[in-house]
Amino acid sequence: MIENQSDNIDNKENDDSNLDNAPKDSSSTQNSTTENDDLSSQEKEEINTEELKNTISNNDARLEQLEKEHETLKNQYVRISADFDNFRKRQSRDQDDLKIQLVSKTLTAILPIVDNFERARQQLKPENEEAQALHRSYQGLYKQLVEVLKQQGVSPMRVVGQQFDPSLHEAVLREASEEFEEDFIIEELQRGYHLEGKVLRHALVKVSMGPGKQNSQQEVEKDTVEGEDNSEANTSEDV
């Protein structure tokens, strides 16, 4: 009996110890699970943070690339716009030059007619009523022609008394003059014209050699002739 009671007591103690140990094991398991959950959440946060950093880095790289492409396209646009503007200006300038060339060619062909009108005006001296009527008709036609030339931008040169300029004038004759200094224009032999500020036709002019040039030249020729006469006389005396 005594042994049975002791066995029961031992069994009861073992049951109590088992009861005491049971809650402890459950608590440790829960703690372990909680720790694992915490580690998993931390790892997830670290992974999300790393992915976010990578995403930001990729976005920054993409943004930088897009900015470079934008700058390249902007430079191309500016260059193309400048090239087009230069092309447009060059086309406009070429068209203006072509227009001036065509007008110049046409007007140059008309200028001899203007010269003939001016020569006729100098020669015509109407004496009777019929001649005066003809002269008035001629003057009307001449004024119309001059007006058309003005409308086309043609203007005559005024050269008498001006200093000779080879870019505007063409010297045909040179002679001494007491009135004009050297290289000044004495007389206009054929009128010159401008077209829009450019030379349409050079003026044919007579240019002054300055006062006393002719006399000095005659003296030089006289001295040369006298020298030749003296040499011939000496030669005859030697013979």
Q: What does the pLDDT look like over 140-157, one tens digit per residue?
A: 888 888 898 898 889 999
Distance CA 102, CA 139 (A): 28
**Spatial contact of 124 and 135, defined as CB atoms under 8 Å apart:** yes
In the predicted model, is pLDDT for residue 10 greater than 80? no
Comparison of pLDDT for 129 and 198, the residue scoring more: 198
Minimum mean pLDDT range among 1-10, 28-37, 125-134: 1-10
Residue 220 pLDDT level (bands cut at 50, 70, 90): very low
Provide the number of structural domains found in the chain: 2
Residues 143 and 119 in one domain: yes
In the predicted model, is pLDDT for residue 14 greater than 80? no
Residues 122 and 167 in one domain: no
In a domain, 69, yes or no: no
In a domain, 52, yes or no: no
In a domain, 28, yes or no: no
Residues 168 and 129 in one domain: no
Residues 140 and 168 in one domain: no
Query: What average pLDDT does this structure show over 171-192?
Result: 90
Q: What is the pLDDT of residue 26?
A: 47
Q: What is the pLDDT of residue 178?
A: 87
Whether the model clears a pTM of 0.75, i.e. scores above it, the answer is no
Residues 119 and 137 in one domain: yes
Burial class (CB in 10 A: 0-12, 13-18, 19+), 213: middle
Closest CA to 151 of 110, 97, 95: 110
- Domain range for 134 is 75-152
Residues 202 and 163 in one domain: yes
In a domain, 95, yes or no: yes
Residues 168 and 147 in one domain: no
Residue 53 pLDDT level (bands cut at 50, 70, 90): confident
In the predicted model, is pLDDT for residue 3 greater than 60? no
Residues 101 and 140 in one domain: yes
In the predicted model, is pLDDT for residue 27 greater than 60? no
Distance CA 187, CA 135 (A): 26
Q: What is the pLDDT of residue 56?
A: 85
Q: What is the pLDDT of residue 19?
A: 43
In a domain, 200, yes or no: yes
Burial class (CB in 10 A: 0-12, 13-18, 19+), 208: buried
Distance CA 186, CA 211 (A): 12
CATH number of the domain bearing residue 167: 2.30.22.10
Residue 23 pLDDT level (bands cut at 50, 70, 90): very low
Q: What is the pLDDT of residue 193?
A: 93
Residues 142 and 169 in one domain: no
Residues 216 and 173 in one domain: yes
Residues 93 and 147 in one domain: yes
In a domain, 121, yes or no: yes
The pLDDT tens digits for 99-158 are 888 888 888 888 998 888 888 877 777 777 777 887 788 888 888 888 988 988 899 999
Of these ranges, 23-37, 120-134, 192-206, 211-225, the one predicted with the greatest mean pLDDT is: 192-206
Q: Which of 152, 184, 213 delimits the end of a domain?
A: 152
Q: What is the dihedral of CA 154, 158, 164, 166, to 10 degrees?
A: 10
Q: What is the pLDDT of residue 165?
A: 92
